[in-house]
Amino acid sequence: MTQVNTVRGPVEASSLGRTLMHEHLVFGYPGNEGDRSMWTYDPDAIVATGTAAVRSIQAQGFATLFDATPNDCSRNPLLLKRIAEQTGFNVICATGYYKEAHGGSAYFGMRSLFTDTVSELADLFIRELTVGIGDTGVKAGIMKLGTGHGGISDYEHAVIKAAARAQQATGAPIITHTEDGNGGPAQARALVEAGADPAKTVVGHMCGNVRDLDYQLATLAYGVGIGYDRTGGNKLFNDITDDDRMDMAVTLAERGYLNRIFWSQDSIATWLGRSWDGFRSLPGAENWKITRIGDYIEPGLRQRGLTQADLDQLLIANPASLFGADA
């Protein structure tokens, strides 16, 4: 019996059901707080928007999502809890820090002049996974980290080492961001060398380079899972289509990797700040929504020959396996 922390409390990992393992009910890039004179922070509206998003995937039979928002991107466990309470959904909150370029690296960067960053981050992650996030009473259930362009920075490497250390202490899964279809193998290697358990680690956004079989296999060689977690973001993310994603998933399934693929959409229900409608209407973003997997991927994978048991493997058993559970 393995328990998972959801924002409403622990549940059995084997009972998570159909799971999306990388979505955002509320997300804000660092810096949005400083712009708040120009937009209205409305927690009730965030809860309403998140609740509507969750209801749309409940209608597709999903029961659980991992909210992949790291601490420095306006993660808000109490808003996630309100959404989970309104819907009866399992929402699993993350602890972690984002890639250096787009995250809140300044704080630990300056502290690194006089402290051990890896220890400070590991202490934080372990506390949020085992004691709780601040005084919210909500525990994190997963860890999230990222790496950016041009290799892994010293700061990003510190986050990787801290997450691996916290995983050894808590058993919590690690999910990640890679940049524009680059850096999967290097990130997987850094995680494994730092002591992360590949069975509990998913290198994210691997569908950003989904026409390159060698890239996929070089990452899988470390034993980690791979996130096909930007479904629907056609062209927005590297001119990749969902048909490309499905074609490569079938190729990998034929090679025995069905149990290493993790589907999600990286959708954002509420994006903090001034209006992001302009981003959402960029060419290629038309299908970037939280219902895309149920609407398009599942029928498309069936057309390509995958069975219901295969789909259950992808959407139920694979996420549960990150917690060491059979489902």
**Angstrom distances, CA of residue 213 to CA of 105, 251, 273:** 33, 9, 38
298 contacts Zn ion (rule: CB under 5 A): no
Stretch of 61-69, 87-95, 111-119, 256-264 contacting Zn ion, by CB under 5 A = 61-69
Stretch of 48-56, 66-74, 253-261, 276-284 contacting Zn ion, by CB under 5 A = 66-74
Decide whether 89 or 271 has the Cβ nearer to Zn ion: 271
> How many residues of this chain interact with Zn ion, rule: CB under 5 A?
2
Chain centre to alpha carbon of residue 72: 14
Q: d(Cα 47, Cα 65) in Å, to the nearest integer?
A: 15
The number of helix segments (H) and strand segments (E) in the chain equals 13, 11
Stretch of 65-73, 85-93, 167-175, 246-254 contacting Zn ion, by CB under 5 A = 65-73
Q: In the bound complex, what is the minimum distance in angstroms from residue 266's beta carbon to Zn ion?
A: 4
Residue 48 near residue 9 (C-beta atoms within 8 A): no
207 contacts Zn ion (rule: CB under 5 A): no
Stretch of 63-71, 159-167, 214-222, 249-257 contacting Zn ion, by CB under 5 A = 63-71
**Structure letter (DSSP) for residue 203:** E
Stretch of 9-17, 60-68, 88-96, 305-313 contacting Zn ion, by CB under 5 A = 60-68
Decide whether 96 or 300 has the Cβ nearer to Zn ion: 96
Q: In the bound complex, what is the minimum distance in angstroms from residue 25's beta carbon to Zn ion?
A: 11
67 contacts Zn ion (rule: CB under 5 A): no
Decide whether 128 or 266 has the Cβ nearer to Zn ion: 266
**Angstrom distances, CA of residue 300 to CA of 44, 169, 272, 275, 307:** 36, 40, 33, 33, 11
Please give the structure tokens belonging to residue 26.
Answer: 């509320």
Q: d(Cα 95, Cα 123) in Å, to the nearest integer?
A: 11
Question: Which residue lies nearest Zn ion, judged by its C-beta?
Answer: 266
Phi-psi region of 273 (alpha: psi -120 to 50; beta: other; left: phi over 0): left
Which parts of 229-248 interact with Zn ion (CB under 5 A)?
none
156 contacts Zn ion (rule: CB under 5 A): no
266 contacts Zn ion (rule: CB under 5 A): yes
Q: In the bound complex, what is the minimum distance in angstroms from residue 26's beta carbon to Zn ion?
A: 12
Q: d(Cα 251, Cα 269) in Å, to the nearest integer?
A: 32
Q: In the bound complex, what is the minimum distance in angstroms from residue 230's beta carbon to Zn ion?
A: 8
Nearest-5° Cα angle at 176, 175 to 178: 155
The DSSP-derived string for 281-313 is: TSTT-TT-STTHIIIIIHHHHHHTT--HHHHHI
Q: In the bound complex, what is the minimum distance in angstroms from residue 68's beta carbon to Zn ion?
A: 5
Decide whether 65 or 327 has the Cβ nearer to Zn ion: 65
Contacting Zn ion (CB under 5 A), which of 68, 138, 194, 290? 68
Residues in the site for Zn ion, rule: CB under 5 A? 68, 266
